[in-house]
Amino acid sequence: MTNDVEKIPTLLAPLIRAAAADIDAGSDLPARLRTELREAGAFRMLTPKNLGGAEAPLTTTMTVYEQLGRLDASVAWVVWNANFGFIGAMMEEAGTARIWGESEPVFANSGMPGVAVPVEDGYRVSGSWRLVSGVNGADWVIVIAGVVEDGSPRLTEAGTPDVRLFPVRRDQITIKNTWNVNGLRGSGSDDIVVDGAVVAEALVVRLDRPAVIDRPLYRGFIPALVIPGCTAVVVGLAQTAIDETVKLATVKTGMSGSRLAELAHTQSVVARSQSALDAARLLLFDTIANVDSSLRRRAAMRSAMSHAAQVVREVLVAMYELSSSSSLYIGNPIERLFRDGMVTLQHANHSATLFDAAGRVRFGLDPGVSLF
């Protein structure tokens, strides 16, 4: 199954390339492409094997995100956001039977907090969640909410806020058509509202307890299965930006009449950008491969993510500049890569402020960031 997962980008590359214009012109993925992704197993890479998933190693899943990012950032983004099947490893059979009982579910998720109030046999969940990528094709949306009891946030045994994951059915949410943007258009990252949806206790996932399934993928810090995926996507996108710029430079001439590829400046910028991106990728994947429940290794991964995002931003600007007037025109690959890349870099997981949190850990302090 893992080998099949690794083949997903190659298998779907022709279809993704053929749909590129439709993806960028619309506000969601084309229905046929979404179906092909589902059938290929792109949405169940982190799902337990006993629930029909691949249960692929984290580095394998991240490589798939990266390779899809090279093909199309919107596709990669939706695949990343849909891979929430690992929650099946954290539920008893009564919960998994409700979600996986009849067919393979497709998920979307949002990391912004809502409110959950205990009721008989479950919780009443309410809130607004922004930027829920892929929500229009999802069967379930996994939202984060803090438990509130008697008007006050409930604390765990460790004295921290009781924050849990709540799977909400598609018919329990209202989707607001808000995704009117200049990049990553095909990700369909609309906002949603949930108004008092009742979520059964059997479906609720606690992040402060070990997974029910005791296998390697689910033994570490569970949020690490999600957090670094967005960075793998942008690293792949940046590589394509370099590749497309090199291709353009072999035929485009500068003011001197020489091809851009013959100019020392072009050669130097491309070489520096490629080296910086290669180094950032190696660091990112090394920290992902070694992440565990320890705060120090989680901080190392977060630092690597912020570093990679910083490098990708510099690479995209450099390639945009090297391409000169060509990068202005809609239809030029570098123009779209720049737009899509800059949107992905706006994700909170790419914030440079996470360097501050990682630095606090290095000094033995609390990072001050939830789900860090």
Per-domain boundaries in the chain: 2-88, 106-206, 227-362
Would you call 271 helix, strand, or coil by DSSP?
helix
CATH fold, domain 2-88, is Butyryl-Coa Dehydrogenase, subunit A; domain 1 (1.10.540)
Q: What is the DSSP letter of 42?
A: T
Angle at 223 between CA 221 and CA 227, to 5 degrees: 125
The CA distances from residue 146 to 53, 225, 227, in Å, are 29, 21, 19
pLDDT of residue 263 exceeding 60:
yes
Q: Residue 147 above 70 pLDDT?
A: yes
Q: What is the pLDDT of residue 2?
A: 55
Spatial distance between the Cα atoms of 130 and 331, rounded to a whole number of angstroms: 29
Mean pLDDT, residues 237-248: 98
Measure the CA angle with vertex 305, ends 184 and 371; round to 5°. 95
Tokens of 80: 């990343």
CA distance 68 to 66: 5
CA–CA dist 221, 242 (Å, integer):
34
Only one residue has tokens 């258009």, namely 185
What is the DSSP secondary structure assignment for residue 48, as one 8-state letter? -
What is the fold of 227-362?
Butyryl-CoA Dehydrogenase, subunit A; domain 3 (1.20.140)
Structure tokens at 262: 């013959």
Within a 10 A sphere around the Cβ of 95, how many other Cβ atoms? 20
pLDDT, tens digit, for every residue of 47-71? 999 999 999 999 999 999 999 999 9
- β-bridge partners, 126: 115, 195
> How many other CB atoms are there within 10 angstroms of residue 32's CB atom?
12
Segment 5-27 mean pLDDT? 95
How far apart CA 297 and CA 291 sit, in angstroms, is 5
CATH 3.20.20.100 fits 106-206, yes or no: no
Q: What is the pLDDT of residue 1?
A: 52
